[in-house]
Amino acid sequence: MKPIKVGLLGLGTVGTGVVRIVEGHQEDLSSQVGSPIVIERIAVKSLDKQRTISIDSSKLTDNPLDVIRDPEIDVIIEVMGGITGTKEYILEALDRGKHIVTANKDLMALHGSEILAKAQEKQCDVFYEASVAGGIPIIRTLIEGFSSDRIMKIMGIVNGTTNFILTKMSQEGASYEAVLSEAQELGYAESDPTSDVEGLDAARKMAILGTLGFRTNVELEDVSVQGISNVTKEDIQYAKQLGYEMKLLGIADRQDDQLSISVQPTMVKNTHPIASVHGVFNAVYVYGEAVGETMFYGAGAGEMPTATSIVADLVAVVKNLKLGVNGLKAIVPYKLKKLKTEEEIAFKNFILLQVADKAGVLAQITQVFAEFDVSLASVVQTPNEQHTDAEIIIVTHDASQANMNKVLKHFEGLDVIHRVKSVYRVEG
């Protein structure tokens, strides 16, 4: 059988994993698709770099265009990352009728709709399973597994770095700064961790999941984002006392056709399945109107898990190629997007206040919540024997974001409130 020829853009960790799987599982793969799969050309940054796998040097080039313009190549696997430049390579490859498999969440979150439109025009496949939650086949699950259902809510732990940090803080009572340093030493966090810890990486993935789950075009700017850099060990201790785990959750939900998509540190009831996802693991919880609760758990990153998803996409492309149906099953968002306003977005809140320790304070504070129509689930004042400031912990029922903002604004003018120490979303 004539082999299927693949071009690889990038030979870092994940690219190396792809080569390992395609070569190591060749028999399994060719049994599935009916012909050998050959990695024909590979674009690398440096031709001279020492590598952990042996590669015929004639396959290497430092010019991605050599790969994209090779007429023998049917499929391009993009694992070089980046946005500018990479986008143009992918668009040119599509123009030349080549199918794309990519792990590039940044590119898909920012330019997914343009790339998918070009793919449709050229009847090419663009698959990107590896862009969200590395080893978990969540994208094909949203597209195919739940095609008949109406997905109402997606909650994801989609960033391993922040989950590692929060897990360690919770299990060891350590501070954010201490655990971040440790994560950097272990290679779980980058030297500039901003994209992870400020929630940007998670936001990109939630834009992709929201688009697929709700079949509308969720863009990065539709996602409200808050990171974990202000989470204190005190917050996590309070969370545990109340029966919650602190997690950086991406949450996409809808009521009727009104959407909201956000990423924020969230206190999750410890009986919820996603509360027990620890360390660098990822999980995506999906609530469907008909199917109810489901959750998908696995490695979020890493050479081999990510490479597995990429090669599974490659197998799907090659099967389509043999059947002559590439580009025909792509999901194209078809619903008009309606984002919820601050009045419509509602959830439970945890609020930690530092207040004057004197009679009547609690009455003044609860009065403010009542005034703005926020009803309370629990109010606890911590015992304070020194008669310095006291702390009050409040958990609300579902309250609109608009009303909560009014409450917090009003707190600024209240003398008895010395500081609003923390405010967190609560789930489950």
State the residues that interact with a second copy by CB under 8 A: 17, 21, 25, 28-29, 31-32, 129, 135-137, 140-141, 144-150, 215, 273, 276, 281, 288, 290-299, 302, 304-305, 307-312, 314-316, 319, 323, 325, 328-329, 331, 334
User: Is the torsion defined by CA of 25, 26, 29, 31 positive or negative?
Assistant: negative
Question: What is the helix (H) or strand (E) element at residue 368, kind and residue range?
Answer: helix 361-371
Q: Output 91 or 275, the one with its CB closest to a second copy.
A: 275
Question: What is the helix (H) or strand (E) element at residue 78, kind and residue range?
Answer: strand 75-78
Q: Output 55 or 295, the one with its CB closest to a second copy.
A: 295
- Amino acid identity, residue 191? S
> What minimum distance in Å lies between the beta carbon of 284 and a second copy?
11
Q: How many CB atoms lie within 10 A of CB 265?
A: 23
Cβ atoms of 176 and 170 closer than 8 Å: no
> What minimum distance in Å lies between the beta carbon of 61 and a second copy?
25
> What minimum distance in Å lies between the beta carbon of 8 and a second copy?
15
Q: How many CA atoms lie within 13 A of 141 on its CB side?
A: 21
Residue among 59, 168, 205, 348 flagged as catalytic:
205
Which residues make beta-bridge pairs with 248?
265
- Between the CA atoms of 333, 338, 341 and 345, what dihedral angle is there, to the nearest 10 degrees? -60
> What minimum distance in Å lies between the beta carbon of 29 and a second copy?
7
Q: Output 193 or 300, the one with its CB closest to a second copy.
A: 300
Q: Output 308 or 422, the one with its CB closest to a second copy.
A: 308
Question: What is the helix (H) or strand (E) element at residue 33, kind and residue range?
Answer: helix 26-33
> What minimum distance in Å lies between the beta carbon of 345 and a second copy?
24
d(CA 12, CA 200): 22
Q: Output 87 or 215, the one with its CB closest to a second copy.
A: 215
* Rounded (5°) CA angle 92-97-101: 75
Catalytic site residue 358? no
Cβ atoms of 272 and 427 closer than 8 Å: yes
Active-site annotation, residues: 205
